[in-house]
Amino acid sequence: MPIKAVPYKHQIKAFNFVCEKFGLIPSQTMQSAGTALLMEMGTGKTIASIAVTGALYKEGRIRRVLVVAPLSILGVWREEFEKFADFDYTLVVLTGSGAKKTDTLRHMRGTPLQVAVINYESAWRLEKELTAWNPDLIIADEGHKIKTHNIAVSKAMHRLGARARYRLLLTGTVITNKAIDVFSQYKFLNSTIFGQSFYVFRNRYFDMVGYGQHTPVLKKSMEQDLMKRLHSIAFRATKAECLDLPETTDIVRYVELEPAAMKIYRDLVKDSYTELGQSEVTVTNILTRLLRLSQLTGGFLGDDEGNAPQRVSTAKQEALEDIVEDVLQEGKKLVIMARFIPEINAICRMLEKKEIGFSLIMGGVKDREEQVAAFQNDPEVQVFVGQIATAGLGVTLTAASTMVFYSLDYSMSNFEQAKARIHRVGQKENCTYLYLTAKGTVDEKVLKALRNKADLARMLVDDYQSGLNPFAARG
């Protein structure tokens, strides 16, 4: 595996499985130009994909790679390549206007391996340009984004996939409740598995029932055939099965604030530093100013008049929406921890809009036990939303093994207590913690201090006394 890390056993198995399917390793099983890695969040499917990419490149099989992923995780691919790829490559995340993306693609030629990373919406809009670029390998990350066969994005991916020499689809699972979702994802991967026609596939495997016969139900007699075909080109790994995984995995998911929000943020950093110079530099003074910056990275800006906070960014919420979709797609539950009330209200509104059942504990919630019991026991309650300061004590949330920190409290004890809600007696799986961190902001400083068990306030005061702006983001 051409990666700069010691892989886990399940990652080696995943790598070997794909290499066999792609004909890089001799195999007795059926070869396929398209393969799925059905690996749950936290099991390292990106690393396995990078290793496969490197192996194909070193064998002279590929020169251009197209990675299509949700907007919020495009940056993850750049970070993971930098961290793990042990081969020569040039990687560009395609951003900006359509014309700018097209121009960037046009210049991605020659050696070493060329890797272009783009979001699903843009891949559809730039299908013609991507077809002309002619990628040899297409990686569809969070492939359930193309589970609906007749939407424009899926159709574009089917056409692009048909032209590529190799195709790799990554997702936690291609099936949660609806086996019919398999068709579109496999049409991209290898159309010989389930055919080219959705209606032929549907008639073969499903009975149409309910009012107006609009609900597909998998035929009992065809269940085995569907699963056999599905797994013929798919490698499956769940957290519960990966016995070599560490007990806890931390994933920092960087979020880029919109340019307008970033301008407000930078102005606030300058103002906060100036104000600090006009008052006594105390821990309280520094943390009060830090608080407003942390609120802004979560998307809200308050004022000194006590008016309702104004929404200035949706960057974190959009990243969270992708995570919620990924985890629920795996048939799992999720815990979201946030610090500020406006953020929690916005998260709850988003879940309500998506008709996702959730429990909530924040200041003022009286029926705490009922909220926890519903999350732990009711399959319809898929998400728990908690305020770090109030939901971090005496609560067991082991129905989930993944927790997202939307924003962070500055208290070390609150942070540790919150993490312990899922990582405790009764937990049967390894735990994954995701930190939504606004790039180039105090979020990075706060997270670093908490993870290093450092005194954040003391650190900021020391920065100021050394002549530095304590609110400026430096590593």
Question: Among residues 174, 213, 185, 218, which one has the least CA distance to residue 68?
Answer: 185
Same domain, 14 and 160: yes
Report pLDDT digits (tens) over 433-458. 999 999 999 999 999 999 888 888 88
With tokens 């110079």, the residue in question is: 277
Residues 37 and 144 in one domain: yes
CATH value at residue 418: 3.40.50.300
Does residue 1 fall inside a structural domain? no
Instruction: Return the higher-pLDDT residue of 167 and 302.
Output: 167
Pairing mode, if any, of strands 166-171 and 34-39? parallel
> Going along 273-378, which residue ranges are E strands?
300-301, 310-311, 333-338, 357-361
Do 228 and 324 lie in one domain? The reply is no
pLDDT value of position 177:
62
**Does a structural domain hold residue 286?**
no
Q: What is the pLDDT of residues 196-211, one digit of tens each?
A: 999 999 999 999 998 8
| Same-domain pairing of 38 and 185 | yes
- Across the range 180-190, mean pLDDT stands at 95
In a domain, 290, yes or no: no
CA nearest to 35, candidates 155, 145, 165: 165
Q: Are 439 and 407 in contact (CB under 8 A)?
A: no
Q: What is the average per-residue pLDDT within 233-252?
A: 89
Looking at the fold, whether 217 and 335 belong to one and the same domain comes out as no
Residue identified by tokens 């910056």 is 293
The whole-number average pLDDT for the span 132-146 is 96
Cα 10–chain centre separation: 20
251 SS3 class: strand
Which of 55-59, 227-231, 261-265, 425-429 is the least confident region?
Answer: 425-429
Average pLDDT of the segment spanning 42-51: 94
- Same-domain pairing of 99 and 215: yes
- Distance, in Å, from the CA atom of 34 to the CA atom of 22, rounded to the nearest integer, reads 8
- According to the model, what pLDDT value does residue 473 have? 72
Backbone torsions φ then ψ of 138, nearest 5 degrees: -115, 125
Residue 212 zone, left/alpha/beta (φ > 0; ψ -120 to 50; rest): left
One domain for residues 13 and 153: yes
**Helical H segments across 299-366, by residue range:** 315-329, 341-353
Average pLDDT in the 236-254 region? 89
What's the pLDDT score for residue 230?
Answer: 94
Residues 79 and 220 in one domain: yes
Taking the C-alpha atoms of residue 417 and residue 393, their distance in angstroms, rounded to an integer, is 6
Question: H-helix or E-strand containing 234?
Answer: strand 234-237
Question: Domain range spanning residue 43?
Answer: 9-237
At residue 474, the pLDDT reads: 62
Q: Which residues contact 400 (CB under 8 A, 6 or more apart)?
A: 332, 333, 334, 335, 375, 384, 422
Residue 475 has pLDDT above 70, yes or no: no
pTM of the model: 0.88
Among the candidates 191, 207, 237, a domain finishes at 237
Q: Which of 208, 237, 266 lies at the terminal end of a domain, its last residue?
A: 237
| Domain assignment present for 30 | yes
Does a structural domain hold residue 226? yes
Q: How far apart are CA 444 and CA 449, in angstroms?
A: 9
In a domain, 411, yes or no: yes
Instruction: Give me the number of domains the chain comprises.
Output: 2
Domain boundary among 237, 269, 302: 237
The reported pLDDT for the residue numbered 305 is 67
Residue 279 lies in a domain: no
* Residue 304 binned pLDDT confidence (cut-offs 50, 70, 90): low
Q: Which domain CATH number covers 69?
A: 3.40.50.10810
Indicate whether 380 belongs to any domain: yes
Torsion of CA 127, 130, 132, 134, to 10 degrees: -130
Specify whether 345 is located in the same domain as 232.
no
